[in-house]
Amino acid sequence: MVEIDPSYVVPEELRPKHALNDEGENIPLIDLSPITNREFSSDPKALQDLAHKVGHACKTWGFFTVINHGVPSDIRRKIMEMSRKFFALPLDEKVKIRREDRNTAGFHNNEHSKDLKDWKETFDFYVNDGMLMPASHEPDDPEVVHWFTPWPHNFPEFRETCQVYGRECEKLFFNLLELVSLSLGLPPKRLHGYFENQASFARLNHYPPCPVPDRVFGTGEHKDPSALTLLAQEDIEGLDVQRKSDGAWVRVKPVPDSFVINVGDVMQVWSNELYESIEHRAMVNPEKDRYSIPIFFYPSHDVVMKPVDELVNVQNPSQYCEYKAGKWLNLRMYNNYKKHGSYMKMTDYKIEA
């Protein structure tokens, strides 16, 4: 793990801007039974009512927790177990599958960071291994390449578990995408085609106990590049969300066998800012290890990103320039890997009024 210089403090501009508010209103809790068990539902309005709840959560918070989501509990427990086993491997074994600037799956622990140090180690894997991505972020470069996950040797159970987990979460994602589409007044499968060759990826996070929790972040404030992100976490708190209504930081209370869902940058564009990607962060614990697993669902590399045509009119003109999904994700990942200033945001493509 990264060691902390005793003289290091979080720069003033990077410290939390608001006191954490964990006693007031929390993110919505939504029961997905009407869509995960829709064949047993006797209420024809159940799906539309559920879509309304999801849409309201997307608009007011950009975050919500789901239960009865359809992902088998044993698979969810298994991926957490495999995550612990992977991060318990010797460092010299983990660095053999270190991520690279052009193929960003693999192990990473921020060991070369010279500024704000995220107190964590991660392993990223692609939901569709061998997916096509642009060879570079340069707009005139037409070449595409295959991105593969570098899996650890002699640990086949880890790879198998990750891949099964990814497939199960994909089913949940498409159910959620249907609900989001309905909430926007679109046909239920209007957005599904954008994910035929998806560039989605998962991240195993390990936040070890930190002796100076007030001086570092687990993960600093950021927004996700995804359409939707699905986060599995255990009972160790650490996720903070910036509440839209007042900007206060709210600690998300873990709910057993649930997923935390959030709107990402891609959905902000597709919805023409009806839904917004929200800042969030992960804090560290002074005594306990914390593990979490987000999956960032991202469209195919060749999808032209722009607001959905049905949501654009004279009263609501497009808020974003068109761009290729793969080029933007490639550039964001490259800049993050190289630590080129602040991370890329979708608002970089916003049309100025």
User: pLDDT tens digits for 110-166?
Assistant: 654 444 468 899 999 999 988 888 777 677 777 888 889 999 999 999 999 999 999
Handedness of CA 338, 340, 345, 346 (dihedral sign): negative
Q: At what angle do helices 46-60 and 156-183 cross, to 10 degrees?
A: 100
Asked if 252 and 246 count as a contact pair (C-beta separation under 8 A), the reply is no
- pLDDT the model gives residue 336: 62
Q: What is the tens place of the pLDDT at every residue in 229-242?
A: 999 999 999 999 99
Query: pLDDT by residue (tens digit) across 91-122?
Result: 999 999 998 766 779 999 865 444 446 889 99
Which residue is listed with tokens 């501009």? Answer: 13
Domains delineated in the chain = 12-349 (2.60.120.330)
Instruction: Please compute the mean of the pLDDT values over residues 43-71 and round it to a whole number.
Output: 94
| pLDDT in the model for residue 118 | 80
Of the candidates 274, 253, 294, 268, which has an alpha carbon nearest to the alpha carbon of residue 165? 294
pLDDT given at position 140: 72
pLDDT number for residue 11:
63
Instruction: Please provide the distance, in angstroms rounded to a whole number, between the alpha carbons at the two ends of the chain.
Output: 45
112: which 2 tokens? 């070369």
CB hemisphere CA count around 270 (13 angstroms): 26
The residue to which tokens 């972020």 are assigned: 137
Q: Which residues in the chain belong to E strands, given as ranges?
A: 29-31, 63-67, 106-108, 121-126, 131-134, 144-147, 201-207, 219-222, 228-233, 239-242, 249-251, 259-263, 280-282, 290-297, 304-305, 323-324
Neighbouring-strand partners of residue 111: none
Please report which confidence band the pLDDT of residue 23 belongs to, taking 50, 70 and 90 as the band edges.
low
Q: Which residue has the tokens 């894997």?
A: 125
* Alpha-carbon distances of 218 from 109, 248, 273, rounded to whole Å: 11, 19, 29
At 129 the pLDDT is 84
CA dihedral 240, 3, 126, 137 (to 10 degrees): 90
- Selected residue with higher pLDDT from 53 and 145: 53
More confident residue, 82 or 323: 82
Separation CA 206–CA 215 (nearest Å):
18
Q: What's the CA gap between 86 and 94, in Å, rounded? A: 8
3-state class of 31 per DSSP?
strand
3-state DSSP call for residue 99?
coil
How many Cβ atoms from other residues are within 10 Å of residue 67's Cβ?
Answer: 15
Query: How far apart are alpha carbons 179 and 35 in whole angstroms?
Result: 9
pLDDT in tens, 181-209: 999 999 999 999 999 999 999 999 999 99
Say yes or no to pLDDT of 338 above 80.
no
- Output the DSSP codes for 308-320: -GGG--SSS---B
Q: What is the pLDDT of residue 132?
A: 82
Joined tokens for residue 132: 């096509």
Which pLDDT band, with edges at 50, 70 and 90, does 21 fall under?
A: low
Give the SS3 label for residue 222: strand
Number of helices (H) and strands (E) in the chain: give both, helices first.
7, 16
pTM of the model: 0.91
